[in-house]
Structure 1
Amino acid sequence: MSIQLRPLQALRLWQQVSLAEVQAGQPDLTERQFAILLTIYLDPPPHTVRGLAEKLGVSKPVITRALDTMGALKLVSRHRDERDRRNVLIKRTLEGALFVERFGDVMLAKAGELSS
């Protein structure tokens, strides 16, 4: 399936998805937190604080603060790497997987509304 959008349509889609998320009472995630969350769920594991910081071009403390928020929301969990205790592995959770899947569903629904 391919959806062709012009720039203003893409912005309208982002607006409609954002409005739906706010109206549904979903957690407020920053752009950075959402980018981290999608990286964890869309890119193959393993994910580490160090690796996420490198991929996003930010510091490890920035990743740690974002993970604190997402951990409190049960969207991700952190565990020490048993093979290298210096590393912290970031793991997906059921709650996080459902959140990301539902978000994808909202995006598709709103994209369908734009094209009709």
Structure 2
Amino acid sequence: MSVVMRPSQALRLWQQVALAEVRDEQPDLSVRQTAILLTIYLDPPPHTVRGLAAKLAVTKPVITRALDSMGALKLVSRHRDEADKRNVLVKRTVEGALYVERLGDVIIEAGRELPL
């Protein structure tokens, strides 16, 4: 399926989603945190700090700081990989799944309100 939008429509959609997120009682994540969260929830596991850093082309400390914030919000959890103690596995949580589902709903609703 393909959605065709003009740049102004795409920007308006992004603006509407950002406004909805800021106005909501839910924590508003940075663009980086949102990209990490969506990668964890939309791409198949397993996810590691090293793998996320490579995928997003940032350093491991950048991922660690973002995961610290998201972990405090219970959106993700981290555990040592029992098979390879050097790896830290990043896992999904119920709270994180609900956050991502709600974000999808916000995007759909904002898309419905876009002028044609």
What is residue 104 of structure 1 aligned with on the other side?
Answer: 104
Displacement after TM superposition at 1:25 (Å): 2.2
Which letter maps to 2:85? R
Displacement after TM superposition at 1:113 (Å): 1.1
What is residue 39 of structure 1 aligned with on the other side?
Answer: 39
Q: TM-score if structure 1 supplies the norm length?
A: 0.95
Displacement after TM superposition at 1:3 (Å): 3.2
What is residue 48 of structure 2 aligned with on the other side?
Answer: 48
Taking the aligned partners of 2:30 and 2:105, their CA distance within structure 1 comes to 20
Give the CA RMSD over aligned residues. Answer: 1.2
Which letter maps to 1:66? A
Taking the aligned partners of 1:113 and 1:2, their CA distance within structure 2 comes to 18
Displacement after TM superposition at 1:24 (Å): 1.2
Which letter maps to 2:8? L
* 1:13 maps to 2:9: no
Aligned counterparts, 1:76-87, within 5 A: 76-87=76-87
Q: Secondary structure at the match of 1:77?
A: strand
Kindly, what percent of the aligned residue pairs are identical?
75
Taking the aligned partners of 1:56 and 1:32, their CA distance within structure 2 comes to 9
Taking the aligned partners of 2:35 and 2:63, their CA distance within structure 1 comes to 11
Taking the aligned partners of 2:22 and 2:107, their CA distance within structure 1 comes to 14
Displacement after TM superposition at 1:30 (Å): 1.1
Taking the aligned partners of 1:65 and 1:95, their CA distance within structure 2 comes to 19
Number of residues paired by the alignment? 116
Taking the aligned partners of 1:28 and 1:77, their CA distance within structure 2 comes to 18
